[in-house]
Amino acid sequence: MSRKGHDAGQPAVLDYRAVRKQFGSFTALAGVSMQVHRTEVVCLIGPSGSGKSTLLRCTNGLETIDGGEILLDGAALPRDPRGMRAMRRRMGMVFQNFELFPHKTALGNVASGPLTVLRLSRDEAEQRAAALLEKVGLADKAASYPSNLSGGQQQRVAIARALAMQPEVMLFDEPTSALDPETIGEVLNVMKTLAEEGMTMVVVTHEMSFARRVADQVVVFERGQIIEQGPPEQIFDAPLVERTRDFLSHLGWAG
């Protein structure tokens, strides 16, 4: 059961059907099927190299898939350049290493999508960017360059940059893994607010307490496969699969 309770009649925003991905002889995804519904927060957890990030990167076409299909609102992901660009506008992505553009200010980073891709006027793009910086609590850092921001601040700018495209889905690829412990909280708070506002989110994370509190669905990966998925109560309190329990106890998760 989804916490927010999605309408079963609605098609999934993202529908993964037996997705396979191969890197040479290494099988990154060995037939992954799952669905993400509108306003849902889905957390992908599991050991490193289990395929979580690869699935995310396949979702917006940064990696191509070798088998199966991924449907966005019921339509297969396009493969032509123009179609891919249109598809990527509908998904925001946040990276582990922030990947802010170092030659642009915080405001310039957030405005870059609207300016270049949506071709808004500079005024409109910067107004939108300023509003989003305000939203992530960094209105006073608009003129700062990334090198003058802390990791947590950079990641919040990166979230604002993705939001500036007004995406339908946000993809988070280990957004707090590169952060100092004291700045993790500020990023997770922004993400939690987004979730409460009804943003559809797919989050690859090692922050189990975040997954526990915010996720509607938790999906456990191992060796390119989903070994268990369900609401956080199930995964964290009463996992049905032994290996889920092993993984969580490995992390020191005590419920």
Q: Which residues bind other proteins (CB under 8 A)?
A: 60, 62, 81, 85-86, 88-89, 91-93, 95, 97, 99-103, 112-113, 116-117, 147, 158, 161-162, 165
User: Smaller CB distance to other proteins: residue 95 or 236?
Assistant: 95
Cβ at position 91, least distance to other proteins in Å: 8
The nearest distance, CB 101 to other proteins, in angstroms, is 6
Between 62 and 131, CB nearer to other proteins: 62
Q: What is the nearest approach in angstroms of other proteins to the Cβ of residue 65?
A: 17
Nearer to other proteins, 62 or 130 (CB): 62
Closest CB to other proteins among residues 23, 101: 101
112 or 205, CB closer to other proteins?
112
CB of 171 to other proteins, least distance (A): 8
SS3 of the chain: the string is: CCCCCCCCCCCCCEEEEEEEEEECCEEEEEEEEEEECCCCEEEEECCCCCCHHHHHHHHCCCCCCCEEEEEECCEECCCCHHHHHHHHHCEEEECCCCCCCCCCCHHHHHHHHHHHCCCCCHHHHHHHHHHHHHHCCCHHHCCCCHHHCCHHHHHHHHHHHHHCCCCCEEEEECCCCCCCHHHHHHHHHHHHHHHHCCCEEEEECCCHHHHHHHCCEEEEEECCEEEEEECHHHHHHCCCCHHHHHHHHHCCCCC
100 or 226: whose CB is closer to other proteins?
100
CB of 95 to other proteins, least distance (A): 6
Angle, to 10 degrees, between the axis of helix 122-135 and the axis of helix 106-116? 130
Closest separation in Å from C-beta 154 to other proteins = 12
Half-sphere CA count of 210, side-chain side, radius 13 A:
28
